[in-house]
């Protein structure tokens, strides 16, 4: 898939920063502007009003419940020491269900106290049974570390909580296996360390009473499908030792959480969804950056450090003021007001740019004030991340620009405002991020700053799609053969597979085993299927396209960070610009065999933009709808892509300096796609001329990809597309949208099932955009390998009108 890089915005002199006194002292709970006052000040500092909608989420009183009768006095006293005098009703309801042996998912809002829902039954059982154990799983190390602090702070004798992950020193691991009764880890460590070493963990697994799965809504797509089978492997090993643990899951508010949790665990799960916790009021603003004058260029709004960012590329062809620039200005404004603020930015480089721009503006106003702002993202070394977390918790920082690495995890106490730079992909993530603001139930401000993107533009002009719509259902597909087969291989290494295991692993298990036997990976014997090789299968749970690539400074050998293998062709090709902690580097060499990119410090006056070529062929059709001149299909496809070159573009003008070839390997992907075809006659009747068909389909494809996250729990970077005036396999004008993961991730199926609503929203987003010929807010794509050419906005509307007129609702 194409992944052209983009550039962001340099701060303009629009800010008239007048820092309040609280901005120069340690941030505490002192008085500051109310959310309403703060929003009015922010709106007044620019020309025109960028706010398209303000939603007032009212405060809510809590509904306490009595302590469950089974909760021991010692545990109640421990919670009381932490300021908890009684549980909220949803906490007690979920805890009672779990203590009675039922599998339960509590799906309530951010800061609703979901932790107590599993801590109550788990810790009560540990206190009542000195041999019982609990396993806690979190999607991130930071979240597990945060929960460890919370459990340890209760100071319960005999619980001995401990984190067991990749950062755990080997000298401590044996003690944890033998003595800890509350082990906190992540699915990766469960997959790579605990289950393969189940013999060493036999004592712990034999006594396992509860498995806690925190933030389970994050287990979606390919990652979620892998985790679903890791949990089935865990259940299998527990059963071999005679244990049947209760599963307690915690989730952000999500659509149909019981079904999603059941698909994840393979068990019947009861959902608790009525949030009874108190909540402070939230002023939630939708903010659309203003249009730039027609003669302004993208480069006038672009800081050089931003060159090469995936998500920021939309700002290269600037129609509106960059979302990064707007967020950086807002972050500087709020910090200058003494307001503790967290800015969520979708990309790593975007977080760096926002922090650097805000620091620069603040230092211009008050020298040294910029030191109160920092960036936080994945790829930092562990020591850097811990220091930033400490500075945030202790108030040394007033503003932080972060990727979604801080959406979960650290208990962000004392934040007054959250800025969300670009729709995060799902309503669940949006509310999770917005919920990070609010001091102990006090009022908070949340601002969604729209990017130049079809979905963002649609949402800021259709607030009912955010505030009046249910949260998405989590999409995962454990039957994906590209997930199921390697997971069965891992299970066979741990213990021979038997016919009784087929039901545990679900649909497709027997077929996958037969394929593994045919491939020589398994050997069938009367007692089951045995793994034939000495080494374990290599399985990437997170589907990131291979092992991470290390970024190393050539002159010093210093490790700067890492980039996932799937992105390395786009971000770390020879000549690419790489940003770390505000410093620009240029890549000298990308060694894929050794997983290393060598870079040197340089601040060029150009940006780099990778270009790729993609081919797609249809393998099979699973389902289709015959709608006369329109056909809608779901099936398997083969996608072949290769990064073949990159452009260098002058930052000052956007001028293309040159295009340089690259020699990178081809990547092949078998996945699931949804596609629609149209007859040439129907297009002609709609007024689409033959010469305009490629641009019409191309524009419709871009917009459809941009709007699919409205229907499924995906990001536009999870999916790809291709359009053609005549495809050899369909023999008709065709638009394809496919999952960007081997075997599919469930997104294409969701698109097929909601095709009418999905394409209706796509059509509306294009038609309602104020541009004349197409822009990043409607039909231009940050991922386009053809440089967004050709595109025809009016003809894209005609194409979608034909589809919607014929496709059944």
What confidence tens digit (pLDDT) does each residue in 648-659 have?
Answer: 887 666 678 999
Q: Is the pLDDT at 696 greater than 80, yes or no? A: yes
Q: Is the pLDDT at 514 greater than 60, yes or no? A: yes
Model confidence at 19, pLDDT cuts 50, 70, 90, reads: very low
Q: What is the pLDDT of residue 741?
A: 82
Model confidence at 9, pLDDT cuts 50, 70, 90, reads: very low
Percentage of the chain exceeding pLDDT 70: 87
Q: Is the pLDDT at 307 greater than 70, yes or no? A: no
Q: What is the pLDDT of residue 293?
A: 66
Q: Is the pLDDT at 682 greater than 50, yes or no? A: yes
Q: What is the pLDDT of residue 234?
A: 98
Q: Which residue has the higher pLDDT, 138 or 109?
A: 138
Q: Three-state SS for 781?
A: coil
Lowest mean pLDDT among 30-34, 303-307, 713-717, 730-734: 303-307
Mean pLDDT of the region 2-10 = 26
Label residue 386 exposed, middle or buried (CB < 10 Å: 0-12, 13-18, 19+). middle
Q: What is the pLDDT of residue 566?
A: 73
Q: What is the pLDDT of residue 611?
A: 84
Mean pLDDT of the region 128-149 = 91
Are 798 and 687 within 8 A, CB to CB?
yes
Backbone phi and psi for residue 562, each to the nearest 5 degrees, phi listed first: -135, 155
Q: Is the pLDDT at 196 greater than 50, yes or no? A: yes
The model's pLDDT over 242-276, given as tens digits with 9 standing for 90+, comes to: 999 999 999 877 778 999 899 999 999 999 999 99
Q: What is the pLDDT of residue 543?
A: 63
Q: What is the pLDDT of residue 378?
A: 64
Rama region for 451: left / alpha / beta (φ>0; ψ in -120 to 50; rest): beta
Are 358 and 335 within 8 A, CB to CB?
yes
**What is the Cα–Cα distance from 138 to 251, expressed in whole angstroms?**
11
Q: Is the pLDDT at 638 greater than 50, yes or no? A: yes
Q: What is the pLDDT of residue 159?
A: 95
Are 214 and 250 within 8 A, CB to CB?
yes
Q: What is the pLDDT of residue 405?
A: 66
Model confidence at 411, pLDDT cuts 50, 70, 90, reads: low
Q: What is the pLDDT of residue 413?
A: 58
DSSP 428-487: HHHHHHHTT--STT--EEEEEEPPSSHHHHHHHH-THHHHSSPPPBP---TT-HHHHHHH
**What is the Cα–Cα distance from 327 to 322, expressed in whole angstroms?**
9
The model's pLDDT over 733-777, given as tens digits with 9 standing for 90+, comes to: 999 999 988 888 788 988 999 999 999 999 999 998 877 788 777
Q: What is the pLDDT of residue 546?
A: 63
Q: What is the pLDDT of residue 212?
A: 98
Instruction: Kindly report the pTM of this predicted structure.
Output: 0.73
Alpha-carbon 474 to chain mean position: 12
Q: 556-567: b or e for each residue (b if 16 or more CB lie within 10 Å)? A: eeeebbbbbbbb
Q: Is the pLDDT at 42 greater than 70, yes or no? A: yes
Lowest mean pLDDT among 151-155, 326-330, 338-342: 338-342
Q: Is the pLDDT at 233 greater than 70, yes or no? A: yes
Q: Is the pLDDT at 671 greater than 50, yes or no? A: yes
Q: Is the pLDDT at 66 greater than 90, yes or no? A: yes
Q: Half-sphere exposure of 38 toward its Cβ, with a 13 Å CA cutoff?
A: 31
Question: Comparing C-alpha atoms, which of 616, 564, 798, 569 is closest to residue 721?
Answer: 616
Q: Is the pLDDT at 302 greater than 80, yes or no? A: no
Model confidence at 299, pLDDT cuts 50, 70, 90, reads: very low
Question: Comparing C-alpha atoms, which of 269, 267, 249 is closest to residue 107?
Answer: 249
The model's pLDDT over 712-734, given as tens digits with 9 standing for 90+, comes to: 777 677 788 999 999 999 999 99
Q: What is the pLDDT of residue 652?
A: 65
Q: What is the pLDDT of residue 303?
A: 45
DSSP 503-557: HHH-TTHHHHHHHHHHTTSEEEETTEEEE--SSPPP--TT--SSSPEEEEETTT-
Are 565 and 540 within 8 A, CB to CB?
no
Lowest mean pLDDT among 167-181, 212-226, 727-741, 781-795: 781-795
Q: What is the pLDDT of residue 300?
A: 39
Q: Is the pLDDT at 392 greater than 50, yes or no? A: yes
Q: Is the pLDDT at 160 greater than 60, yes or no? A: yes
Question: Comparing C-alpha atoms, which of 667, 656, 660 is closest to residue 574?
Answer: 660
Q: Is the pLDDT at 404 greater than 80, yes or no? A: no
Percentage of the chain exceeding pLDDT 90: 53
Model confidence at 319, pLDDT cuts 50, 70, 90, reads: low
**What is the Cα–Cα distance from 528 to 521, expressed in whole angstroms?**
13
**What is the Cα–Cα distance from 541 to 550, expressed in whole angstroms?**
19
Model confidence at 317, pLDDT cuts 50, 70, 90, reads: very low
SS3 for 607-649 is EEEEEEEEEEEEEEEEEEEEECCEEEEEEEEEEEEEEEEEEEE
Q: Is the pLDDT at 313 greater than 80, yes or no? A: no
Q: What is the pLDDT of residue 256?
A: 81
- The whole-chain average pLDDT of the chain stands at 85
Model confidence at 545, pLDDT cuts 50, 70, 90, reads: low
**Which range in 104-118, 196-210, 776-790 is most confidently predicted, on average pLDDT?**
196-210
Model confidence at 131, pLDDT cuts 50, 70, 90, reads: very high
């Amino acid at each position: 898939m194409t992944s052209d890089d983009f550039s962001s915005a340099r701060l303009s002199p629009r800010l008239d920063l007048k820092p309040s006194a609280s901005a120069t002292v340690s941030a505490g709970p002192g008085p500051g502007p109310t959310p309403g006052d703060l929003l009015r000040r922010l709106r007044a500092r620019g020309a025109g009003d960028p706010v398209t909608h303000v939603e007032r989420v009212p405060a809510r009183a809590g509904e306490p419940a009595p302590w469950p009768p089974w909760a021991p006095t010692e545990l109640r006293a421990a919670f009381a020491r932490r300021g908890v005098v009684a549980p909220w009703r949803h906490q007690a309801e979920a805890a009672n269900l779990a203590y009675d042996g039922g599998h339960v998912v509590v799906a309530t809002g951010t800061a609703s106290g979901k932790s107590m829902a599993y801590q109550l039954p788990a810790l009560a059982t540990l206190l009542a049974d000195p041999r019982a154990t609990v396993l806690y799983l979190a999607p991130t190390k930071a979240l597990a570390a945060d929960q460890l602090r919370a459990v340890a702070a209760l100071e319960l004798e005999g619980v001995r909580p401990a984190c067991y992950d990749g950062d755990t020193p080997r000298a401590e691991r044996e003690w944890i296996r033998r003595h800890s009764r509350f082990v906190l880890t992540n699915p990766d460590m469960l997959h790579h360390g605990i289950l393969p070493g189940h013999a060493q963990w036999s004592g712990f697994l034999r006594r396992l009473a509860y498995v806690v799965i925190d933030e389970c809504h994050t287990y979606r797509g390919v990652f979620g499908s892998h985790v679903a089978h890791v949990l089935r492997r865990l259940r299998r090993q527990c059963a071999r030792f005679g244990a049947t643990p209760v599963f307690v899951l915690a989730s952000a508010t999500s659509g149909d959480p019981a079904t999603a949790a059941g698909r994840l665990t393979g068990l019947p799960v009861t959902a608790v969804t009525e949030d009874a916790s108190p909540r402070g009021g939230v002023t939630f603003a939708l903010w659309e950056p203003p249009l730039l004058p027609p003669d302004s260029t993208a480069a006038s709004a672009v800081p050089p450090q931003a060159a090469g960012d995936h998500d920021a590329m939309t700002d290269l062809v600037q129609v509106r003021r960059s979302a990064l620039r707007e967020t950086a200005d807002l972050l500087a404004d709020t910090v200058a007001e003494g307001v503790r603020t967290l800015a969520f930015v979708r990309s790593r480089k975007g977080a760096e740019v926002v922090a650097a721009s805000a620091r620069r503006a603040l230092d211009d106003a008050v020298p040294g004030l910029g030191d109160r702002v920092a960036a936080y993202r994945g790829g930092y070394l562990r020591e850097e991340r811990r220091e930033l977390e400490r500075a945030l918790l202790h108030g040394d920082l007033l503003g932080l620009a972060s990727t979604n690495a801080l959406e979960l995890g650290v208990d962000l106490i004392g934040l007054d405002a959250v800025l969300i730079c670009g729709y995060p992909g799902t309503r669940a993530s949006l509310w999770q991020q917005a919920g990070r603001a609010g001091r102990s139930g006090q009022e908070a401000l949340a601002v969604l700053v729209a990017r130049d993107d079809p979905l963002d533009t649609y949402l800021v002009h259709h607030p009912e799609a955010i505030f009046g719509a249910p949260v998405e259902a989590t999409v995962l597909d454990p039957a994906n053969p590209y997930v199921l087969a390697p997971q069965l291989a891992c299970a066979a290494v741990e213990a021979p597979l038997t016919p009784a295991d087929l039901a545990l692993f679900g649909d497709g298990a027997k077929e996958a085993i037969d394929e593994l036997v045919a491939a020589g990976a398994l050997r069938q014997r009367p007692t089951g299927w045995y793994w034939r090789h000495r080494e374990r299968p290599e399985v990437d749970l997170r589907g990131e396209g291979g092992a991470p690539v290390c970024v190393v400074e050539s002159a010093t050998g210093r490790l700067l960070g890492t980039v996932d293998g799937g992105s390395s062709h786009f971000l770390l090709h020879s000549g690419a610009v790489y940003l770390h902690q505000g410093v620009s580097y240029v890549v000298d060499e990308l060694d894929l065999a050794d997983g290393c990119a060598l870079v040197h410090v340089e601040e060029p006056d150009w940006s780099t933009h990778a270009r790729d070529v993609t081919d797609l062929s249809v393998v099979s059709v699973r389902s289709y709808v015959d709608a006369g001149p329109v056909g809608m299909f779901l099936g398997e496809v083969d996608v072949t892509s290769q990064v073949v070159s990159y452009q260098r573009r002058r930052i000052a003008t956007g001028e293309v300096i040159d295009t340089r070839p690259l020699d990178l390997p081809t990547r092949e992907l078998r996945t699931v796609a949804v596609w629609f075809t149209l007859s040439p006659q129907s297009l002609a009747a709609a007024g689409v001329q033959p010469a305009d068909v490629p641009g019409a389909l191309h524009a419709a494809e871009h917009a459809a990809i941009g709007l699919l996250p409205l229907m499924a729990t995906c990001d536009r970077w999870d999916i790809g597309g291709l359009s053609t005036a005549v495809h050899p396999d369909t023999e008709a004008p065709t638009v394809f949208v496919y999952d960007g993961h081997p075997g599919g991730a469930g997104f294409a199926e969701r698109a097929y099932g909601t095709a009418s609503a999905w394409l209706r929203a796509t059509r509306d987003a294009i038609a309602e955009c104020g541009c004349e010929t197409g822009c990043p807010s409607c039909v231009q794509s940050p991922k386009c390998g053809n440089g967004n050419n050709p595109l025809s906005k009016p003809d894209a509307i005609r194409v979608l009108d034909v589809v919607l007129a014929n496709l059944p609702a």
